[in-house]
Amino acid sequence: MASLTSPAPAAPRLAPVDEPVEQGNSLWHDAWLRLRKNKLATFGLVSLSVIAFACLLGPLLSPYGYEEQNLDLGASAPSRAHWLGTDTLGRDLLVRLLFGGRISLAVGLAATFVALTIGVVYGAVAGFFGGKLDALMMRSVDIMYSMPFPIFVILLMVLFGRNIILLFVAIGAVEWLTMARIVRGQVMSIKKMEFIEAARSLGLGRRRIIFRHILPNMLGPIIVYTTLTIPGVMLLEAFLSFLGLGVQPPMSSWGVLIKDGAEKMEEFPWLLIFPGTVFSLTLFSLNFLGDGLRDALDVRSSKD
């Protein structure tokens, strides 16, 4: 983290840090130290890492495949052979849970990345150029804010088949609006600062100013908001899967597993309880981590 050195005209901090700063400590190093002091955020980071590693490696180590059925066995309670039990088709729940985790996390990351890219570019352009272009662009964002997007996403998924790529795009296209607003606000305030004026008077081009001087100074809010977008995106994916519109069996995602579990919970409660717990724990960790990052990077919670 500390190796992230700022470009030539030293980038000022987003906000002054009160504690005496040891020599050589960058903003990122300070933030890291503050984050580590926050117990809940640390817990979030650790549990997320554990879950992510388990999802990546677990299915490789397991003797069972995620779609491997054992109809003779059927639904069985947790046992030594199947740690979290099996579903009605005799498929190992642990493997399906880990495998579903891959999908859920992948959707969360990919859709957030789509939202991040659109939002940052859009917001930066609007904020940097200002004037009529900015007014037009932000008015459009206002208009899009007032549209019933979750409904559009449902419609898209119903009408165009349940395509996982479409799922990324649809969710990402919904979630970029707030990011655009945040980035625009940041750009507007940063571009008025003296070091930008200095850069301009040195004759630097627009592109260089945007990418080398403005963007690095907005990383704090962008990272924080991205961390907080991921749980929202994962929730949307699970919500769609729960309605039967997201990921399709025999593939699994946490939303699919929770849906199946809810249907069979009367006889086989573990099918609901385990996926529900893991999913909630993940969202919990992401929210804690995002909150902790916000404090550590000293980002104001307001939108602009």
Partner 1 sequence: MLRFITSRFLQSLLALFLVITATFFMVRFVPGGPFTAEKAVTPEILRNLEAHYGLDKPLWRQYLDYLSSLARGDLGPSFKYPNRTVNEIIFDKVPVSAELGSISLAVALVLGIGLGTLAAIRRNTWVDYVASSFGMIGISIPTFVVGPLLVLALAIHLGWFNASGWYGPADRVLPALVLGIAYAAPISRLTRGGLLEVLNQDFIRTARAKGASEFRVVTRHALRGGLLPVVSFLGPAVAGILTGSFVIETIFQIPGIGREFVNSAFNRDYTLVLGTVILYAVLIMALNLAVDIAQAWMNPKVRLES
Residues that bind partner 1 (CB under 8 A): 139, 142-148, 150-152, 154-156, 158-160, 231, 235, 238-239, 242-243, 255, 258-259, 261-262, 265-266, 269, 272-273, 276, 279-280, 283-284, 287-288, 301
Please choose, from the candidates 27, 33, 29, the residue with its C-alpha nearest in 3D space to the C-alpha of residue 14.
27
Closest approach, Cβ 221 to partner 1, in A, equals 16
Closest approach, Cβ 238 to partner 1, in A, equals 6
Show the tokens assigned to 115. Answer: 């939202």
Nearer of residues 64 and 279 to partner 1, judged by Cβ: 279
The torsion angles phi and psi of 139, rounded to 5 degrees, stand at: -60, -40
Nearer of residues 154 and 215 to partner 1, judged by Cβ: 154
Nearer of residues 146 and 201 to partner 1, judged by Cβ: 146
Closest approach, Cβ 281 to partner 1, in A, equals 8
Interatomic CA distance for residues 15 and 74, integer angstroms: 59
**CB burial string 263-294: b at 16+ within 10 A, e below:** eeeeebebbbebbbebbeebbbbbbbbbbbbb
Contacts of 45 (CB under 8 A, 6+ apart): 35, 285, 289
Count of CB atoms within 10 A of residue 72's CB? 6
Please choose, from the candidates 3, 14, 1, 10, the residue with its C-alpha nearest in 3D space to the C-alpha of residue 221.
14
Nearer of residues 65 and 244 to partner 1, judged by Cβ: 244
Closest approach, Cβ 257 to partner 1, in A, equals 11
Closest approach, Cβ 164 to partner 1, in A, equals 18
Closest approach, Cβ 19 to partner 1, in A, equals 20
Please choose, from the candidates 216, 51, 204, 191, the residue with its C-alpha nearest in 3D space to the C-alpha of residue 131.
191
Helices (H), 77-130: 93-129
Nearer of residues 150 and 205 to partner 1, judged by Cβ: 150
Count of CB atoms within 10 A of residue 176's CB? 25
Nearer of residues 75 and 235 to partner 1, judged by Cβ: 235
Closest approach, Cβ 56 to partner 1, in A, equals 22
Nearer of residues 218 and 278 to partner 1, judged by Cβ: 278
Identify the DSSP state of 80. Answer: S
